[in-house]
Chain A
Amino acid sequence: MDDPSQGNSDYVIEMNHIRKEFAGIVANDDITLQLRRGEIHALLGENGAGKSTLMSVLFGLYKPDGGEIRKNGQVVKINSPNDATALHIGMVHQHFKLIEVFTVLDNIILGAEDTKFGFLSRKEARARITELSEKYGLRVDLDAKIEDTTVGMQQRVEILKMLYRDNEILIFDEPTAVLTPSEIDELMKIMKNLAAEGKSLLFISHKLNEIMEVSDRVTVLRKGKYVGTVNTKDTNKQELSNMMVGRPVQLVVEKGEAVPGDVILDVSHFSVPSRIHSRNAVSDVSFQVREGEILCIAGIDGNGQTDLVYGLTGIEKSNGGTVSLCGRDITRLSVKKRGEDMSHIPEDRHKHGLILDFTLEQNMVLQRFLEAEFQNRQFIRFNAVREYTQELIERFDVRSALGPLTRARSMSGGNQQKAVIARELDRNKKLIVAVQPTRGLDVGAIEFVHSELVKERDAGKAILLVSLELDEVMSLSDRILVMYEGEIVGEFDPKKVTVQELGLYMTGARRQDGKGGATA
């Protein structure tokens, strides 16, 4: 590697020896990142490794405590996002910064409007954006309102915003976290296009597959420190994850044969109405989950998996069929009654899983505060709650600033998810409904969650797993059901099916009951 203290104009951006402290926590400790022109440079690290901090320093949101930033070899000072914009640095945030009720066009030009005699001149803007979107393959509907567009299109709008401002350095902060698999494929293509046109991309992620596919080089951070930079083609997933976690990581789930026992969950001709359209979101679905097995529901996002889980857990009302749990008909029971035999790791931890303004300890007893262990004549036993939380924190390695008293909002996404998983697994119910349990987690944490789920299975629990990640589906499940447009279109043994074959069913090209194309 070149001596980083010397400016080198091979690099479009150099961040040398960056240090950033937050009230005693060193988030970035002597980190060096060099971005070549026209490359896709991945920044890899666990939750809390300092990736976002480093990017915020580059984008002018934080002022570094040490180190320097160079652009084209010249030292620059970036004190605000405006400075970053002036240096043609743009960022697509993980959570988009768009105005819901504005059109796509207005969102793109917002803040960089061309005016004529004080009036907006959208015509030229439209022409330029159309040209850009064709050049890079960024399909958008310029006149649609943001609230009516898909997440994928919103991301393309964010990218167009950067391009419209002639940005040369594009930062993508975990861009795939919110996308469906097909949208991810499309984004990967777009990113390669951008690099081919001479843009330099910084790609923050902890998804190894994507990094291997799209990046040219990878810089790895661990616990705020610089671990190293490697060429993607000279490395592999195992090496990267070891660098990231600091120890050898089990990428493949280790599990023995399933020994299915009695039927725990019996779903028969079950339907759930859609909240959006008049058809059923889930129609006439039947399946069983037995103790000691992991049944996985695979499918592309939005094919009724969410509604199925809402219906099963009682969050939404069903409109047909029956569900029985541990031999009890729960079709019309309340969420609380169902919870007696069921724990639920929800898909959206911010909406359902946690009360963000509550402390960690308050969140840990969300379902259990009425149990005798935690209340005495309706008075909450705070000591018991705290001890219990402390125990879960240690067992599940939930990291937070103030332990049980941390506000859930101030915890990192990965630790929030760990907290939810800790709570739900410890409730020790016969059935575990886990919806995308590893969403937003890094490899180390994913390894932990997977092994916990397998442990629960081996302890005789029935696990219903809903996942959009085919890797997870293939490695974790004992049986796979594929959902397409609210129906179950096939059942598979993960050992006897390929990802490609599953893909055909997930996209509706095939189905097993003969209604669709060929049978498997």
Chain B
Amino acid sequence: MKESFFQRKGVKTFLASLISIMIGMVAGIIVIIVVGLTNSTIADSTIWDGIRLVVMGVFSKGRDAVGNLTFGFNPAFFGNMLFRAMPLILTGLSVAVAYKTGLFNIGAPGQYLAGICATLFVALSIPTSSVAPWIVWTLAFLAGMLAGALWGCIPGLLKSLLNINEVIACIMTNWLAACLVTWAFDVSSLKNVIEGTKTGYIYKTAMIINDYELGGVVGVAGPELPEGATLLATRGNVATAKMGLDRLFAGSQVNGGILIAIVFAILLYVIMEKTTLGYQLKACGSNRHAAKYAGIHDKRNIVLSMGIAGAMAGAAGSLYGLSGNTEFFWATYQSLPAVGFTGIAVSLLAVNNPIGVIFSGVFMSFLNVNGLQLTNQTAYNENITDVIISVIVYLSAFSMLIRSLMEKKKEKPKTASSGEVKA
């Protein structure tokens, strides 16, 4: 009876999230119909295409000779969905972990930036001509996580020592990170000067960057050295291993990062649910006074929780940078990376459960890819998927309500075991 109780609760939570998703989808479809009917540039026949793409764009295989949409397993889209899910899962974990300790980590964007910055600096500075690329990769990844962790610790410390609200501190550290990262890249030698058209971008980590000397002048070049130059060192050529995923999902950007994200999710689940550390963190989150009364170091745990949260967001940035084929735009950072904020939605939809975050992260990127297909293959605007996502996020806040509604319906037939209780 004990097991079934837990199962029932899990099932209810899952169903509640599912209902939120369904309602969100329906809302999206309504938007598509309304926009389609009112917008003269969209033919009425396109509406059905739009609906199908929003619901299952990942399975789109383009249009056939007659111009009809065809559907089936599309490895490239599927792989890209997993690729885009990777940072979302990690920022989702970041928010979820902090939430379990009673903290609202709205600082994931800043931690993400700190992570990507540290990672790119390490990955692009250590010459791979003298250090093996996989060691550089590892160092860069650890540096990214560490930077994210440190950035997360700042609001944690402010909260525990000075009782400053972590939301306010996080918002400030977000912008601090944005400005610091802009400045750091601006004064760095990591700006992409080889592909001259790309001003404002940092080298891709997978690129081969050769430092050379020619007539007493030091310069950088791609794989091709200028005539008569002496090679000083080679940098770059660092990227996350594909781990066979490129063969499974041919034509996509996916790499081993998604597996790392899943491992982190499982690890965090085990830590939160099975270990004394998780017990302590949750105790502090649920009732700080009681934790203090019991001799649990509440201040240390707040910092620790924000540190872990920051490390997850840092890992998201780090793995995104290390995927090798993504470019990081640094010039005068105008806005915070959206993936950090979407992490809040991912976590909410998963009711802050680390395992649930895997699925909600994949689901969010599923919607993303669907949205891309909507833009690519119809006259619709990609932003419609944002409408769906926002409806789902809005409803996931109501998932408690949905759950209690389900409870009311199902509660009637009750087992005898709980009857003997009150007496």
Contacts and interface: CB of A to CB of B under 8 A. Distances in A.
Interface of A: 23-25, 27, 48, 223-224, 313-315, 334-339, 344, 346, 351-358, 362, 366-367, 369-370, 375, 378-380, 399-402, 405, 412
A25 B422 contact: yes
B295 A339 contact: yes
Nearest to B419: A24
B291 to A, nearest CB: 8
A27 B419 CA distance: 11
Nearest to B412: A23
Interface stretch (B64-72, B81-89, B227-235, B272-280): B272-280
Interface in B393-423: 411-412, 414-416, 418-419, 421-423
Interface string B190-216: 000000000000000000000000000
A352 B289 contact: yes
B187 interface: no
A369 B293 contact: no
A399 B416 CA distance: 15
A306 to B, nearest CB: 13
Contacts of B422: 25, 27, 48, 224, 399, 401, 412
Given A378-B275, A380-B274, A23 B414 contact: yes
B259 interface: no
B217 interface: no
Contacts of A351: 287, 289-290
Contact of A401 (B2, B293, B418): B418
Enumerate the 8 nearest inter-chain pairs by beta-carbon distance, A residue then B residue, closest first. Answer: A336-B295, A24-B419, A352-B293, A23-B414, A335-B295, A366-B294, A401-B421, A355-B287
A380 B275 contact: yes
Contact of A356 (B279, B286, B296, B415): B286
Nearest to B271: A378
A339 B291 CA distance: 13
A233 B274 CA distance: 59
A100 B304 CA distance: 34
Given A358-B283, A358-B286, A369-B276, 6 more contacts: A23-B412, A25-B421, A366-B283, A369-B279, A402-B2, A405-B5
Nearest to B287: A355
A346 B296 CA distance: 16
A405 B274 CA distance: 16
A356 B293 contact: no
B63 interface: no
Nearest to A386: B2
Interface in B280-305: 280, 282-283, 286-287, 289-297
Contacts of B282: 358
B414 to A, nearest CB: 4
Nearest to A23: B414
Contacts of A412: 422
A223 B283 CA distance: 34
Given A346-B293, A352-B289, A380 B5 contact: no
A48 B295 contact: no
B314 to A, nearest CB: 24
B290 A355 contact: yes
B295 A380 contact: no
Contact of A334 (B6, B283, B295): B295
B294 A335 contact: yes
Contact of A380 (B276, B286, B415, B421): B276
Contacts of B421: 25, 399-402
Contacts of A24: 414-416, 418-419
Given A48-B423, A351-B290, A399-B423, A367 B418 contact: no
Contacts, number: 98
5 contacts: A351-B290, A355-B290, A357-B286, A399-B423, A401-B418
Nearest to A366: B294
B44 to A, nearest CB: 50
Given A223-B423, A400-B421, A402-B5, A370 B276 contact: yes
A516 to B, nearest CB: 34
Contacts of B418: 23-25, 401-402
Contacts of A353: 290, 293
B286 A375 contact: no
Nearest to A25: B422
Contacts of A379: 274-276
A378 B295 contact: no
Nearest to A53: B422
A27 B422 CA distance: 8
A354 B286 CA distance: 10
B423 A315 contact: no
A311 to B, nearest CB: 13
B279 A362 contact: yes
B101 to A, nearest CB: 13
Nearest to B2: A405
A476 B165 CA distance: 45
Interface in B1-48: 2, 5-6
A315 B294 contact: no
A223 B419 CA distance: 13
Given A356-B287, A357-B286, A315 B293 contact: yes
A370 B277 CA distance: 10
Contacts of B291: 355
Most buried by B among A356, A378, A405: A378
A54 to B, nearest CB: 14
Most buried by A among B274, B287, B414: B287
B274 to A, nearest CB: 5
B353 to A, nearest CB: 15
Nearest to A370: B276
Most buried by A among B283, B293, B419: B293
Interface in B375-398: none
Nearest to B1: A402
B100 to A, nearest CB: 11
A338 B292 CA distance: 12
A337 B296 CA distance: 11
Nearest to B279: A369
B277 to A, nearest CB: 6
B155 to A, nearest CB: 23
Contacts of B5: 402, 405
Contacts of B287: 351, 354-357
Nearest to B270: A379
Contact of A355 (B275, B286, B411): B286
Most buried by A among B6, B274, B280, B422: B422
Contacts of A402: 2, 5, 418, 421
Contacts of B283: 355, 358, 366
Nearest to B282: A358
Most buried by A among B280, B282, B290, B416: B290
Contacts of B289: 351-352
A314 B295 CA distance: 9
B293 A335 contact: yes
